Amino acid sequence: MAAEPPAAVELSGITKRFPGVVANSDIHITVGRGTIHAIVGENGAGKSTLMKILYGMYRPDEGEIRINGSAVRFTSPQQAIGAGIGMVHQHFMLADNLTVQENVVLGAEKLYGIGGKATAKIREISRQYGLEVDPEALVEELGVGDRQRVEIIKVLYRGAKILILDEPTAVLVPQEVDELFGNLRQLTAEGLTIIFISHKLHEVLSVADAITVIRRGTTVASVLPADVTARELATLMVGSELPSPETRESTVTTTPALTVRGLTVLSAAGRTLIDGVDLTIHKGEVLGIAGVEGNGQAELVEAIMGMRPAAGTVELAGDEITAWSTRKRREAGLGYVPEDRHRHGLLLEAPLWENRMLGHQTESPNSGRGLLTTGAARKDTERIVEQYDVRTPGIEVAAHALSGGNQQKLIVGREMSHAPKVLIAAHPTRGVDVGAQAAIWDHIRQARHDGLGVLLISADLDELIGLSDTLRVIYRGKLVADADPATVTPEQLGLAMTGAAEQPSPAVERISAAVEELKKEAPKGEQA
Amino acid sequence: MGKEVILRQARGMQLLAVASAAVLLLGVSACGGGDDDSGTGDGKTKVKVGLAFDIGGRGDKSFNDAAAAGLDKAKQELDVEVKDLAANATESENDKYERLKLLCTSGYNPVIAVGFVYAGADPATGPVAKAAKECPDTKFAIIDSVVPGSNVASLVFAEEQGSFLVGAAAALKTTSGTVGFVGGCDTPLIKKFEAGFKAGAAAAKAGTKVLAQYISTPADKCSGFNDPAKGQTVAEGMYDQGADIVYQAAGGSGSGVFKAAKAKGKLAIGVDSDQYNTADAAVKDVIITSMLKRVDVAVYDFVKSVSNNTFAAGTLTFDLKKEGVGYSTSGGKVDDIKPKLDEYKQQIIDGKVTVPTAPTS
Amino acid sequence: MKTRFDWVRLLPPLIAPLGAILIALVVSSIVLAVGGKEVFPTFELMLDYGSQPGSIAAMLDKATPYYLSAVAAAIGFRMGLFNIGVDGQYRIAALLAAALGGASFMDAVPGVVRIVLIVLVAMLVGAAWAGLAALLKVTRGVSEVISTIMLNTIAGGFVAFLLTTDKLGVQAAGSNAVTTPILPKDVWISDLPIVSGTKDGVFGFIVVAALVGVAYWFLLGRTRFGFDLRAAGANPSAAVASGVDAKRMVIAAMLLSGAVAGLVGLPQLFGEQHAFTESVGGLGFTGIAIALLGRNHPIGMAFGALLWGFLERSAQILDLEGIPKETVTIMQGTAVLAVVVAYELTSHVTKRLQQKRVGESVATPAPTGVSA
């Protein structure tokens, strides 16, 4: 896209060093006004750091930022907002119990007050940019796509002309993604500029006007979507061939490893979060659960782990464990890779070897007869660091010092070290760099080959399809559909995840029919 | 999630805890303070008097101030060097012992301990007894308690006798037939005041109703000696129940009692010093008399006895006979009944009337 | 590799308290200067007096209950429980234990047995009182901060109610204080003459305090229970996910904390007053301050308790020289507040240092998930 000077955003020679690490080095990006500019790179490549610099959260050590031609030096996000830059974060920052209008106005009361004038302004924005949202609606009643629109309205309300969207599609199903892209195009048509951060290549190719690739903290290429294929882009991103999560030959047996019957979970307020879920995972089987986040996946996992009261029965390798405590379940061979490793998987301030004990503190080599056996635990931690390629200078390092991928490798290594019968893996590769991702997949495949049953929950549909032997779709706390990972495409899965199969029963047949139909006209998915 | 909520703590709590701990620490010891430095210091020949105050120290307009007055008088008239130290609210018996020991090892002789807290839980092994053992050549005095030791003088008062007289005054002056007693702390010592007051009231006018209440107990560290607001509340309650004269034996809380009397248009009786002269000018007119406990006399006499080498160990009771207790007439509100009161006084001195030291009911 | 990391890990626990004490000294210097007192002679005076043998013995005496109180608070702190109720727990525990130990029906029981009995009863009562707060928390979700504060007040009421001559209290001849019956001599724990140059001994109970410190260290650092407790404090949700039973943990930690709190009043009971009296209070709150100052570390808290004892002891001399001893109170308060701030600062620096070192040695881009 020929950008008429001056460019909306011009970054030149941006370098940011964290103590001992160069997070960004000599970055050059020019974003033309009224364009969608994608910045791609694998996790940990330095995209987020760069955006935090542009948004005033970090100050660059070197280099220059120009907004609409004039050099700026932000020391806080407030200044960036003042210069017309808005950030839509990956995780929504909305108060559920407030209305859309209240959420938008919150913190910006000085602009248009909090009454009718503000409402009128919101309506004006939503009309002008085609962002349909009812200002009076409660946020908790909104779907994910709507919430994202609220976030966008929030930054527009504050006068943003340049929008940064950080992985905006991570939480959306494909249909919602399309809707978002429609919105983005309309925004640029109105003269706004969008910086779009992603690592999903086919999305980038379909929506961006220009693409900048970042690898290892620096810009390696600036290309136009018409000039590259997804594979070329991927190669630019990782500097080598992409790994694939695909599982080849089946190792599924007929011996049930984990059987769940009629599992029902209620919220504290009495709302049904998990509604009569039945599932069986056999030895050597990976059962993938697809679903839009917030449809009960976390509750399902926590109920199986015994962290949450639930009705129904859970059987582990023939033992009825419904009444067992979390500890007993773990001792009996239930491994757990939690969705949020910082919240559920690690003691960030503690050294790696103590983190190696966490979750298995009652088991050898961590303890015996009530006393910790720190020597043995340390030694075994060395082994895990070695075998699972945890990049660390030593095991006395606190967990927070490691990168996300290395933390995750430590967790996977720890869970695999106690010969689990069943592994509950929630988003096992989220926030993990490509190399570590491949390693984690390999470990899961190897364990599956050895007879491990795996319950896999992931938002990465490629990972789900590639790794699972069986796929189930969860929607509003119910398993609403099955899919065959050998044939299903991400788009079909995405449709099922929106609850399209919900209405009349039998649900499974409906979705199968829908999937069949979709297959015929399916746009070929870039399945790298 | 349900379970972990129990464990999850607001991290802010930690700061809160820190702040509150700090506030508690600061608040709790924010008393004590003012002390005089002895002016002239020329000498070995001079007697150096060390005095350790009870909690509150100088400026409590009551007990401690009475002791201070005696000390100041001794300093002026007997030409002695003086040093006084105050106690902390949170300190232990050991701290009190250390304070006395610091005084005696720093060359102060005699050393006066003001208040029964210096006797300790077990007077035979408490702070004064221990310090006296540690400094056998130093003469010690303790006020309001009896402590054994060959170098210890125990200066105690017949508070019940003085209280008897003001009790009689109250009974003679009341128009409602109901009078009140507010004690600072529910201890045997203060009970002596109550006992005397009740006996005096009953003797002067049979059937006089006496309401009695204590602001605090030893369990809350006798905070009632230093809580004017609470003193006021308690006294207001008594006035509302029909009492028209309230006798306070509550140290610093007494000012609250006077305030209540002023507000309700009623009367009150002071304690320890002549409070008509020491109390706030705004409330002095409610004070018809005060039960005098001449701690100043005791302190002065003791210092004098040491300086002219007539120190005697053992218990010394300051009663009506020795003018160690009595009643005040400042303000002229009891002038009309003075003959009657003096008659009771003589009867007690003569032993014709014996005043109980513990309330009967 | 390992050794290179050690100094980085040791940084905050050492620098933070030292920095805090320095800040406290500066603040109290300002206070002194503003008050027209000479700064350095004052500190010198304190140091001189505080380092005399008699003062050292007194410092150890003071530090003994402070240390016990700090350990009691620290047990809760380590799992994120704020037992503000040490004060109430030790008072009611000491009262009941002293009353039992001094009761006339115990006359025939040998002294040693009585001592053991008193210690056990004190621990049990302390634990039970703290257990009430734990029960309220796990069954009703009542914050232990609120409930222990309330229980302090209730304990005060109980003590006042029970410590009267017609119930558990007696009045020694010549005394105005109501106390529990004075323990016979064979139930006293005699002072240890461990400080040379003074006749003053040190509470024999200091041995118990030291043992409690060792037990605390062992329990937290070497046992599975201690690991569970620390995990629950460091990251409650991760602890639950690791199989820690939150409710049971809350109860266990509170009971332990209360049991140690029950010991707080005993050094004075056995070594000083030989009876329970209400002349002493506030040891529970001092313990919280010392736990914070010592960062819940068994040795750190020992230093904290000694420092506290030293400051209080040397404050006495200030009075004699006409310098307000509140200077010391200001010093103590500032030190506690400063140590929290200093610890946050140094741990932030340490975090950065560690990340830097990890970054250097593995040479990958900055851990984006951890920064910010």
A308/B contact by beta carbon, under 8 A: yes
Distance CA(C101)–CA(B297), nearest Å, equals: 42
pLDDT digits (tens, 9 = 90+) for B246-289: 999 998 899 999 999 999 999 999 998 889 988 889 999 999 99
Give the model confidence (pLDDT) of C257-311 as tens digits: 999 999 999 999 999 888 888 766 678 999 999 999 898 999 999 999 999 999 9
B282 lies in some domain: yes
CB-CB under 8 Å, B17 with C274: no
The verdict on B180 and B134 lying in the same domain is no
Name the residue range of residue B197's domain: 159-292+331-349
Distance CA(C62)–CA(C311), nearest Å, equals: 10
Q: Please state the domain count of chain B.
A: 2
pTM of the full structure: 0.78
Q: In this prediction, what percent of chain A has a pLDDT beyond 90? A: 35
Domains of chain A: 9-238 (3.40.50.300), 256-339+421-521 (3.40.50.300)
Chains that touch A (3 or more CB pairs under 8 A): B, C
Q: Is the peptide bond before C110 cis (omega within 30 degrees of 0)?
A: no
The residue from B138, B157, B176 where one domain ends is B157
Alpha-carbon torsion (B154, B160, B163, B164), positive or negative: negative
Q: Which residue has the tokens 């006339």?
A: C104
pLDDT at C365: 42
Give percent of chain C above pLDDT 70: 91
Instruction: Find chain C residues with C-beta within 8 A of B117's C-beta.
Output: 177, 279
Q: How many CB atoms lie within 10 A of CB C124?
A: 18
User: Does residue B142 fall inside a structural domain?
Assistant: yes
Residue contact B17–C174, C-beta within 8 A: no
Identify whether residues B213 and B244 lie together within a single domain. Answer: yes
- Judged against a pLDDT cut of 50, whether residue B339 lies above it is answered with yes
Cβ–Cβ gap A308/B4 under 8 Å: no
Supply the angle between the helices B63-78 and B295-307 in degrees, to the nearest 10: 30
Q: Are C125 and C162 within 8 A, CB to CB?
A: no
pLDDT number for residue B12: 45
Domain identity same for B86 and B165: no
Q: How far is CA C29 from the centre of its chain?
A: 27
Q: So what's the pLDDT on residue C10?
A: 65
**Does any CB of chain C come closer than 8 Å to the CB of residue B358?**
no
Same domain flag for B152 and B246: no
Contacts of B250 (CB under 8 A, 6+ apart): B182, B183, B184, B185, B215, B224, B225, B231, B257, B271
Residue B307 lies in a domain: no
Q: How many interface pairs between A and B have CB atoms less than 8 angstroms apart? A: 9
DSSP conformational letter for B116: G
Are A30 and A9 in contact by the 8 Å Cβ rule? The answer is yes
Are B210 and B275 contained in the same domain?
yes
For C51, the token pair is 């380092």
What distance in Å separates the CA atoms of residue C260 and residue C249, rounded to the nearest whole number?
16
Last residue of a domain, one of B142, B157, B172: B157
Give the pLDDT confidence of B114-155 residue by residue, as tens digits.
988 898 888 888 899 999 999 999 999 999 989 999 999 999
Tell me the β-bridge partners of B178: B209
The span from the CA of C199 to the CA of C180, in Å, is 28
Question: Is the pLDDT reported for residue C371 higher than 60?
Answer: no
Residue C273 lies in a domain: yes
Of A189-198, A267-276, A470-479, C167-176, which gets the smallest average pLDDT? C167-176
Q: How far apart are CA B185 and CA A454, in angstroms?
A: 72
The partner residue sitting opposite A391, judged by closest CB among C9, C353, C364, is C364
Q: Which of A85-99, C113-127, C283-297 has the lowest mean pLDDT?
A: A85-99
Looking at the predicted structure, is the pLDDT value of residue A389 above 70?
yes
ipTM of the complex: 0.86
In a domain, C21, yes or no: no
Retrieve residue C293's tokens. 């100052």
Are B194 and B336 part of one and the same domain? yes
Is there a domain that residue B184 lies in? Answer: yes
User: Does A490 score more than 90 pLDDT?
Assistant: no
Cβ atoms of residues A504 and A510 within 8 Å? yes
Among the listed residues C242, C187, C17, C268, the one whose alpha carbon sits nearest the alpha carbon of residue A418: C242
Q: Does B250 share its domain with B130?
A: no
Find, among A137, A147, A440, the residue nearest to A292 by Cα: A147
Say if residues B42 and C170 touch (Cβ distance below 8 Å).
no
Q: Could C228 and A57 be called an inter-chain contact, meaning their C-beta atoms sit closer than 8 Å?
A: no
Number of domains forming the structure of chain C: 1
Q: How far is residue C229's CA from residue A195's CA, in Å, rounded to a whole number?
A: 46
B173 and B139 together in one domain: no
Mean pLDDT of chain A: 84
Question: Quick one: closest CA in A to C243, which residue?
Answer: A327
Cα(A385)–Cα(A406) distance, integer angstroms:
9
Least confident of A502-516, B172-186, B189-203, C329-343: A502-516
Report residue C143: phi and psi, to 5°. Answer: -60, 130
Say what the pLDDT of residue A5 is. Answer: 62
Single-letter amino acid, residue B40 = T
Q: Which residue of C has its CA nearest to B103?
A: C320
Domain termination residue (choose one: B105, B140, B157): B157
| All partners of chain B with 3 or more CB pairs under 8 angstroms | A, C
Distance between A174 CA and the closest CA of chain B, angstroms:
30
The CATH number covering residue B227 comes to 3.40.50.2300
Distance of CA A386 to the CA centre of its chain: 27
Does a structural domain hold residue B21? no
Shared domain for B147 and B60, answered yes or no, is yes
Helices then strands, counting H and E runs in chain B, come out as 12, 12
Q: How far apart are CA B32 and CA C26, in angstroms?
A: 24
Determine the average pLDDT of the residues in B336-361: 91
Give the DSSP H or E segment for A286: strand A286-290
Length of chain A: 528
CB atoms within 10 A of CB C230: 20
- The verdict on residue B226 lying in a domain is yes
**Residue among C147, C229, C237, B307 at smallest CA distance from A342:** C237
Classify residue C161: in a domain, yes or no.
yes
**Residue B4 in this model has a pLDDT that exceeds 80:** no
CB A365 within 8 A of CB C224: no
Report whether A43 contacts A404 (CB < 8 A).
yes
Whether chain C has a CB inside 8 Å of the CB on A49: the answer is yes
C312 located within any domain: no
What is each CA distance from B305 to A397, B112, B114, B165, B301, in whole angstroms?
A: 74, 13, 17, 29, 6
pLDDT on residue B258? 95
In a domain, C292, yes or no: yes
Per-residue pLDDT at C125 = 97
Rounded to whole angstroms, the Cα distance separating A37 from A212 reads 8
Answer whether residue C284 is part of any domain.
yes
Question: How many CB atoms neighbour CB A19 within 10 A?
Answer: 14
Q: Name the nearest CA neighbour of A500 among A491, A488, A511.
A: A511
What pLDDT is attached to residue C336?
86
Q: What is the pLDDT of residues C330-349, one digit of tens each?
A: 888 898 888 888 888 887 88
Residue C97 belongs to a domain: yes
Q: Which of C239, C268, C285 sits opposite B92 (nearest CB)?
A: C268
Question: What's the pLDDT at A417?
Answer: 93
For residue A276, give both structure tokens.
């009569």
Residue C348 in domain: no
Q: Which residue has the tokens 């882009």?
A: A233
B125 and B255 housed in the same domain: no
Residues B164 and B143 in one domain: no
Amino acid identity of residue C202, one-letter, is: V
Residues spanned by the domain of C238: 58-296
3-class DSSP assignment, residue B248: strand
